[in-house]
Amino acid sequence: MNSFLENLPALVDEITAIQDIIITNIVLIGQTPAPTFKEKRRGIIFMDRMAEFGVDEVTTDGYHNPIGIIRGTSSEKPPIFVVAHLDTFFDKDIVHNYTVKENTITGPGILDNSLGVGVLVSLPIIFERLGLTFESDIVLAGTIQSIGKGNLRGIRHLLKTWATPIRGAVCVEGVELGRLNYFSDGMIRGEISCSISQEKGIIHKYTPNAILILNEVINGIMRLSLPQRPRSRVVIGKISGGANHGRIAFDATLGFEIRSDSHKMVKTIYNDIKDIVDGIGHENEVGLSMKTISNLKAARLKFNHPLVKSAAAVLQSLGVKPVSKSTESALSIFLSRKIPAVTLGITNGENYYSNKATMAIEPMFTGIAQVIGVIKAIDSGVCDEQ
């Protein structure tokens, strides 16, 4: 493994030499809309490209996650998973035209996560051009229904139904190069909806305003005492409602997220917010309800886990400083099933959730080399004794 680390910087130039294929895959994937629950077209393109690049098996699981499998040299070694989520935050009616310049590619969804999927699709041809082989089978999976209300259903189903042990995994995200995620906080994302009845015969002492009712809920949440240990916080992320500027709002919705490195604390805070919602709804005689959109349990590898140490060494060998923080992604599903895994970012970018999201091309080749380095580390056995 040490000799492979020494040769990693040289791989960057070899990967750069086939940049046309990689960029073509990124653009082809990115210009195919894939909002959550509507990823079918992108999944078909994923499998078509896998077949064109000659992987040993192209298939889907029972949940329609597209999969390409490159057979390893040893039938005794469990497979290594490399995954990227197919869906993006952008609807089909958004124009998905990408602009490719000398140093950048710009377009909606490119950073989350069309870039990651484009790189994943390119790995078979990259392995072939670089003459790379592995003992384990390499399972390349594009997972559906990952973000928002998708609640990572694609990866949950894939791992739940996979018939054999899994040796280790790499989760590929578009940005940022240098991220080395190996733990995930507990999380609940939820929505609070306020609906004021306009039926005749219902009389309020004061005409309620749905937006102001939700403002009371926000004030109640802000008065909660959150502990520093375990680290916990509530993020108010979205609010919408009303018809126009001059009319009282009869409907409004609030989006929030609870995070903590203790899942027990996440549930406690959720119940506290539920009490606030129920109380304010009762006192104001309005329809006020709360529902869970997505949730994760806290999970982690230790910092001294061989996979974490090896991934950090790979990054450092490429001149990249590792940065670690919690991530709410497929990583948590692998870790919750006791499968060693890390999440890596491919390049740097800006305007993350904008139609003008932009990725830098040149750092991408280093990002791809790090993915190869971590796959090689898993294949060399850094996860086996754990």
Q: At what angle do helices 19-30 and 40-52 cross, to 10 degrees?
A: 160
Condensed to tens digits (0 to 9), the pLDDT of residues 352-382 reads 889 999 999 999 999 999 999 999 999 999 9
**Secondary structure E strands in 200-277:** 232-241, 251-260
Q: Helix, strand or coil for residue 11? A: helix
Residue 386 has pLDDT above 60, yes or no: no
**Tokens at 88, concatenated:** 């993006």
Tell which residue, 241, 44, 46, has the closest CA to residue 124. 46
**pLDDT confidence bin for 199, thresholds 50/70/90:** low
Residue 201 has pLDDT above 60, yes or no: no
Identify whether the C-beta of residue 78 lies closer than 8 Å to the C-beta of residue 386: no
Condensed to tens digits (0 to 9), the pLDDT of residues 155-179 reads 999 999 999 999 999 999 999 999 9
Distance, CA of 113 to chain centre: 8
Rounded average pLDDT over 239-257: 94
Q: How far apart are CA 119 and CA 18, in angstroms?
A: 12
Tell which residue, 263, 273, 265, has the closest CA to residue 222. 273
Identify whether the C-beta of residue 322 lies closer than 8 Å to the C-beta of residue 374: no
Long-range contacts of 210-215 (CB under 8 A, 24+ apart): 210/241, 210/242, 210/249, 210/250, 210/251, 210/252, 210/286, 211/239, 211/241, 211/242, 211/249, 211/252, 213/252, 213/280, 213/284, 213/286, 213/288, 214/239, 214/241, 214/252, 214/253, 214/254
Identify whether the C-beta of residue 150 lies closer than 8 Å to the C-beta of residue 87: yes
Count CB atoms within 10 A of the CB of residue 377. Answer: 24
Residue 2 has pLDDT above 80, yes or no: no
Residues 6+ apart with CB under 8 A from 94: 33, 108, 355
Identify whether the C-beta of residue 307 lies closer than 8 Å to the C-beta of residue 378: yes
Condensed to tens digits (0 to 9), the pLDDT of residues 72-111 reads 999 999 999 999 999 999 998 888 999 999 999 999 999 9
Q: H or E stretch including 49?
A: helix 40-52
Q: How far apart are CA 356 and CA 112, in angstroms?
A: 12
Q: Helix, strand or coil for residue 104? A: strand
Condensed to tens digits (0 to 9), the pLDDT of residues 270-279 reads 999 999 999 9
**Tokens at 201, concatenated:** 């015969």
21 by Cβ neighbours in 10 Å (0-12 / 13-18 / 19+) ranks as middle
Q: Helix, strand or coil for residue 37? A: coil
> How high is the mean pLDDT of the chain?
94
Identify whether the C-beta of residue 284 lies closer than 8 Å to the C-beta of residue 208: yes
Rounded average pLDDT over 240-253: 93
Residue type, 347: T
What domains are there in the chain, each with its CATH number?
Answer: 2-184+298-379 (3.40.630.10), 186-296 (3.30.70.360)
- Given CA atoms 55, 182, 2, 319 in this order, what sign does their dihedral have? positive
Condensed to tens digits (0 to 9), the pLDDT of residues 285-301 reads 899 999 999 999 999 99
Condensed to tens digits (0 to 9), the pLDDT of residues 133-149 reads 999 999 999 999 999 88
Q: How many helices (DSSP H) and strands (DSSP E) are in the chain?
A: 10, 17
